[in-house]
Amino acid sequence: MLIGVGTDTVEIDRIKIAIQKTGIRFIQRVFTAEEENYCESKKDKYASYAVRFAGKEAVFKALGTGISGCKWTDVEIISKENGRPEVLLHGQAAQTAREKNITGILISLSHDRTRAVAFAAAVTKEGD
């Protein structure tokens, strides 16, 4: 059953500038080590960072809380071997999901040359 949805879009250059201005501080505040490793391995690392940033925002919205009370790293977006993105929740985001009986977050990520967009859906098992 669908519990909540969220979407977000971000300019890739906005994330690029944030990374270039603050360097590793921004990356470590917003992204997990696995996300950083993934993004750094990509040809267009800034688009990869931006789409994950948008994904985190979309997940917070789907949880119904916004980022309030959570850390950016409480939401982790990894890529499965087939390239499919998957959401892992940690800390307060995981606690919020448990409290709302959310059993999973589905996510779709996309970007072009200038913008990144994400859509997230929080779901629970039928009958919950």
At 6-32, the pLDDT tens digits run 999 999 999 999 999 998 999 999 999
Q: Beta-carbon neighbour count of residue 17 at 10 Å?
A: 13
CA 82 to each of CA 6, 51, 85, 105: distance values in angstroms, whole numbers, following the listed order: 24, 18, 9, 18
Q: Which pLDDT band holds residue 127 (cuts at 50, 70, 90)?
A: low
Each residue's pLDDT tens digit, 58-91: 999 999 988 888 999 999 999 998 889 999 999 9
Q: Looking at the whole model, is its pTM more than 0.75?
A: yes
- Domain coordinates in residue numbering, the chain: 2-123
Query: In angstroms, rounded to a whole number, what is the distance separating the alpha carbons of residues 30 and 34?
Result: 12
Top-level CATH class of 2-123? alpha beta
Give all strands of the β-sheet with 2-11 in edge-to-edge order: 2-11, 115-123, 104-111
